[in-house]
Amino acid sequence: MAKTVGILGSTGSIGTQTLSVIRELNSRPESAFNPHYTVKALSCGANIDLLMRQIDEFSPETVCVSDGDSAKILRKKYRKLNVLSGEDGLISMAGEKTDMLVTAITGMRGLRPTLKAIESGTDIALANKETLVAAGEIVMKRAKEKKVRIIPVDSEHSAVFQCLKSTFKGGKRSVGRIILTASGGPFRTFSEKQLLSVTAEDALNHPTWKMGGKITVDCATMMNKGLEVIEAMHLFGMAPDKIDVVVHPQSIIHSMVEFTDGSVIAQLGLPDMKTPIELALTYPHRGLSDRDRLDLTQLGGLTFEKPRTDVFRCLSLAYDAAKKGGVMPAVLNGANEEAVELFLGGKIGFCDIARLVEGAMSDRISGGVCAAGPDLDAVLEADGRARDYVRRSVNCP
């Protein structure tokens, strides 16, 4: 038995960890519970050297790179390999039927490839939350119509996905609320004044998780948790007022579900993304990992706090966008993507991120009207408008 896999963003944090999980899974005896994983397609941005090492090890049929020059180099070196490039190439690669596509690229640019994979009937291991934030209704509706499974890789959503298996016969009726945990990021205890002077370097120093630049900054502003609230809404069909956030700095409880009888089921584990990645690949079975185990006696304690939404305003802005619905989450996401890029480039300060996102969400920029069920064009248009606003606000055309 074999399971074919494609990876969007194979040289990033989730991409490399996915290949490492596949290496581990394939080193175990093949069985009905542990199929052999065949990597059919890989895509990457700039890290061609690492991509070449991945091609040598996993022999994919298709790869996609961001630019034409890199594509030429690869075509010369690998005569039999199907080499694609650019956004069209990425969409085309995503459309090649595999059993599962791991969407491990960052940002809205994951949207079209994800939709294309759904059209081809490929199950999605979702590690690209921006896609669901901006166009959750469109993506979930199409996945349902095409009977495609969307399995979360995000550690919180993987936790909720597992906890929800305890609904018994009540189904969704027996779910009271979802409780997402947040590490609080590197500035959890900072005052508003202290936040004014933090740099990109400070923000990139996350206390518990090693991740890419964009998501690490999102963790520092707590926008990441806001995006995850919207992601959870779509994945699990819950209203935003039934999704709470609690700060849990140790990142041991990855999230919880409270049921209508008051029982709370939590999923615990060491903070290691390989666990949710492996579950997405092996579901509905569990793997036989020999990774480090959680030793509760070594932990000292698990603590919980209310999020400081007055200081970390991105989280409240995300709740506002979730409640308004329509294209507002796409506006929130587009503005945030641009603002984070400007922050990482040293063009704006840390507190400007929330300010710019709030500005983009104003009636004048967002249009104010939030019709339910926007189509793809409306989402892309709103995303573009939000990005324009952010760049114009700081004179970066």
| Window of 153-161, 190-198, 283-291, 330-338 that interacts with Mg ion by CB under 5 A | 153-161
- Does residue 154 bind Mg ion (CB under 5 A)? yes
Nearest approach in angstroms of CB 155 to Mg ion is 5
| Window of 154-162, 200-208, 320-328, 343-351 that interacts with Mg ion by CB under 5 A | 154-162
Residue 156: which residues within 8 A CB-CB, separation 6 or more? 180, 181, 228, 232, 254, 255
**Shorter beta-carbon distance to Mg ion: residue 244 or 388:** 244
**Shorter beta-carbon distance to Mg ion: residue 65 or 219:** 219
- As a whole number of angstroms, the longest Cα–Cα distance in the chain is 63
Nearest approach in angstroms of CB 157 to Mg ion is 7
Name which of residues 156 to 175 contact Mg ion (CB under 5 A). 156
Nearest approach in angstroms of CB 128 to Mg ion is 12
Residue 373: which residues within 8 A CB-CB, separation 6 or more? 137
Residue 39: strand, helix, or coil: strand
**372-388 per-residue burial string, b: 16 or more CB within 10 A, e: under 16:** eebeeebbbebbebbbb
| Window of 56-64, 146-154, 241-249, 268-276 that interacts with Mg ion by CB under 5 A | 146-154
Nearest approach in angstroms of CB 70 to Mg ion is 30
**Shorter beta-carbon distance to Mg ion: residue 141 or 206:** 206
**Shorter beta-carbon distance to Mg ion: residue 14 or 357:** 14
> Angle at the Cα of 185 (from 181 to 187), degrees rounded to 5?
135
Residue 144: strand, helix, or coil: helix
Q: Using CB under 5 A as the criterion, what x/- string covers residues 190-209 for binding Mg ion?
A: --------------------
Nearest approach in angstroms of CB 218 to Mg ion is 9
> Angle at the Cα of 304 (from 299 to 307), degrees rounded to 5?
140
Closest residue to bound Mg ion by CB: 154
Number of residues that bind Mg ion (CB under 5 A): 2
Nearest approach in angstroms of CB 97 to Mg ion is 29
What is the C-alpha to C-alpha distance for residues 349 and 327, in angstroms, rounded to an integer? 27
Q: 129-132 long-range contacts, Cβ below 8 Å, gap at least 24?
A: 129/154, 129/227, 129/228, 129/231, 130/106, 130/227, 130/333, 130/337, 131/103, 132/230, 132/231, 132/234, 132/235
Contact status, residue 78 vs residue 53, Cβ threshold 8 Å: no
* Helix H or strand E segment including 163: helix 155-163
**Shorter beta-carbon distance to Mg ion: residue 223 or 327:** 223
**Shorter beta-carbon distance to Mg ion: residue 156 or 278:** 156
**Shorter beta-carbon distance to Mg ion: residue 156 or 383:** 156
Nearest approach in angstroms of CB 229 to Mg ion is 11
Name which of residues 282 to 311 contact Mg ion (CB under 5 A). none
Residues near Mg ion (CB under 5 A): 154, 156
